[in-house]
Structures are given as C-alpha cells and as structure tokens.
Amino acid sequence: MQVLPGSSNDHPIEQRQIPRQQLSAYLRVYNSQTDRPFGYIGNVSRMGIMLITELPVMLDQEYQLLLKLPGEDDKPAEPIHFRVRSHWCRADITPGYYDCGFSIVSNPKTFASLATLLQRYFSFSQPVDV
C-alpha cells in the first residue's frame, strides 16, 4: 500500500495494488439443520477447519454444517454439506468472538480440494520485473 503525497495524516489516500476483500461475505458457514449462521472460516486445511464464531462451541462434539460458496453468473454454487468434530475453542482477539478448531468427519476429499482452491485464490504473487 502506498500513501499518496499531499494527503493528510488523518485520512491518507491509499493506492492499493490488490483490492481488499471482505472474506466474511464469502466464507460463512451455516448449521445445516437450521440454515442459521454458525461462523466464518478463519482457516482451512486438508484435514480441518478453524471457524470464528460468536458463541463458544462445546468440545468433542459433532456438528453438521453447510458452506455456501458463490457461483458464477450470480448463481449460487452447490452447497457443501459436511460434519466436523470440535477440538478446541478460545477467545478471539476481537471481543465477542471465538476461534474454534474442528477436524473434518465427513466429505474430506471436498475439503482437500477446497483448501487447495482457497490457497490458490488468496495467494498474492508479486509482479515480475521484465
């Protein structure tokens, strides 16, 4: 990020190379039985997921969740149903939120693919000087 010359220190004008993304709009997870929001994806790997929730979760419990990813042409993609088991939960740095760690119980191949796709999508490569 560069601050443009002549801008005040109170409100600098930013000139971003990469647009800022609001990930919570895309990576929200729902309770698959009630379709109510459960949390947001904070991190995902081939074997597990960390969710940021507004309430702490009970440990060593299974949860049935649903991930609704955006699709193409303003049509939603097929939702991903999965089960997870909770292993840990601690207060997030943001007051009123919790970071909760889960292992994937069902649909592990889909999560392996999802982890790879998200890593590629959110990896920022530096431009090459020619």
Is 4 within a domain? no
101 in Cβ contact with 57 (< 8 Å): no
Can you give the pLDDT at residue 46? 80
In whole angstroms, how large is the CA radius of gyration of the chain? 18
* 71: CATH: 2.40.10.220
Is 116 within a domain? yes
Question: What are 29-81's pLDDT values in tens digits?
Answer: 999 999 999 999 888 888 888 999 999 999 999 999 998 877 777 777 788 88
How many distinct structural domains can be found in the chain?
Answer: 1
Read off the pLDDT of each residue in 112-116 and give the average, rounded to a whole number: 79
Is 129 within a domain? no
Domain that holds residue 90: 23-121
Is 34 within a domain? yes
